[in-house]
Amino acid sequence: MKPVRLVVASPAGGGTDTSLRIVAPRLGEILGQQIVIDNRGGAAGNIGADLVARAAPDGYTIGSLIASHTSNPHVMTKVPYDLERDFAPISLVVKVPNVVVCHPALPAKTVKELIALARARPGELQYASAGLGSVPHLTMALLANMAGLKMIHIPYKGAGPALVDVMAGHVPLLSANILNSLPLVRSGRLRALGVTSGQRSSAAPDVPSISETLPGYEGLQWFGLAAPAGTPRDIVAKLHKAVVQAMQDPAVRARFVNDGGEPMASASPEAFRAFMLAEGRKWGKIVKEAGIKPE
């Protein structure tokens, strides 16, 4: 039996990569097939998504769909895929808050202090992101819009490279997936200022929610799986069943929860499709309110 190629729309070390490497081994065991991860980062996930959309619909290629795929059409003049037309959704895997982190040298230890610093240096403070229109970009843009700040966005080709440059001090700030940033906070290489969920994360209860400073603030990452459009319904159903089973595994769930994620498989492929379309409407509203112009 051929292995299943899992196209991950981020470089190695990014949040999408971290999340799917947690679940992929168990998914392979359930399917009785090897899962081979193929990292295709860049363009806020568009490169990986385009590869999946163009793959043969035979069940041997699946890929990650992420929150950025629902926001990209609102911030880019052209994207190479259509979420409704080009994919056969399988299931949501996990919802994850971001955490706004900074290099330890930045003179801000709280979101309140960050806002004061940015106001004192309008148009000077930079923040990195996983790419234009990515959730790391939009969660920072939402913060800036709600607090009335002017900051400079520095897009990267994925969360991994952005994290590396923030740790090196080349860019001071980043809104990063909690799964791969929290270990760096615990080691002292980064400082956490606030989580982007509406409440504090159980994985880092000492880190305040940004909403404690900016009431109403919230922006979450999520990761799911999809096959190319045209994949037979029985294959999609088999893959969905396997994802549900994998996400019920206590060891898999513990890994996600310990790192700050909320594991949750969709009730059905149709439920995942409806969730994605709702996310697209939400991010479209945020982009409009933040005044972000398509590029």
Specify the pTM.
Answer: 0.81
13 lies in some domain: yes
**Could you tell me the residue range of the domain that residue 163 belongs to?**
97-212
CB-CB neighbours of 61 under 10 Å: 19
Shared domain check, 252 and 164: no
Question: Residue 177 has what pLDDT?
Answer: 84
Q: Which residues of 192-219 are buried (b: 16+ CB within 10 A; e: fewer)?
A: bbbbbbbebbebbeebbbbbbbbeebbb
Contact 4, 28 (CB under 8 A): yes
**Is the domain of 91 the same as that of 154?**
no
pLDDT at 286: 83
Q: Supply the CATH number for residue 160's domain.
A: 3.40.190.10
Q: In this structure, what DSSP letter does residue 19 have?
A: H
Residue 87 within a domain: yes
Same structural domain for residues 158 and 196?
Answer: yes
Assigned domain for 8 exists: yes
Question: Do 157 and 253 belong together in one domain?
Answer: no
Q: Vertex 82, ends 241 and 272: CA angle to 5°?
A: 25
**Which residue, 194, 212, 230, sits at the end of a domain?**
212
83 in the same domain as 161: no
Give the pLDDT band of residue 262 (cuts 50, 70, 90): confident
Domain membership flag for residue 179: yes
Of 138, 130, 136, 181, the C-alpha closest to 159 is 130
Rounded to the nearest 5°, which phi and psi values hold at 104? Answer: -55, -20
Whether the per-residue pLDDT at 3 is higher than 80: the answer is yes
Q: Which of 118, 120, 79 is nearest to 100 (CA)?
A: 118
Q: Is residue 295 part of a domain?
A: no
Same domain, 229 and 89: yes
DSSP state of 127: E
146 shares a domain with 70: no
Supply the pLDDT for residue 100: 98
pLDDT band per the 50, 70, 90 thresholds, residue 12: confident
pLDDT at 165 over 80: yes
Q: Which of 212, 238, 256 is the last residue of a domain?
A: 212
Task: For residues 149-164, give the mean pLDDT.
Answer: 91
Helix, strand, or coil (residue 38): strand
Domains in the chain: how many in total? 2
Do 101 and 90 fall into the same domain?
no
Please write the tens of the pLDDT for every residue from 240-260.
999 999 999 999 999 888 878
User: What is the model's pLDDT at position 290?
Assistant: 79
Angle, helices 250-258/15-31, rounded to nearest 10 degrees: 180
Say if residue 231 is in the same domain as residue 161: no
Over residues 74-106, the pLDDT tens digits come to 988 899 999 999 999 999 999 889 999 999 999
User: What is the rounded CA–CA span in Å between residue 84 and residue 81?
Assistant: 9
CATH number (domain holding residue 8): 3.40.190.150
The reply to whether 271 falls in a domain is yes
CA distance 43 to 155: 9
Task: Identify whether residues 202 and 231 lie together within a single domain.
Answer: no
Domain boundary among the residues 187, 212, 237 is at 212
| Pair (87, 42) in one structural domain | yes
Domain presence at residue 244:
yes
The count of residues in the chain is 295
Question: Which residue's entry shows tokens 């081994």?
Answer: 25
Whole-Å CA distances, 200 to 175, 264, 284: 15, 19, 25
Please write the tens of the pLDDT for every residue from 177-222: 887 888 999 999 999 999 999 899 988 899 999 999 999 999 888 9
Residues 227 and 89 in one domain: yes
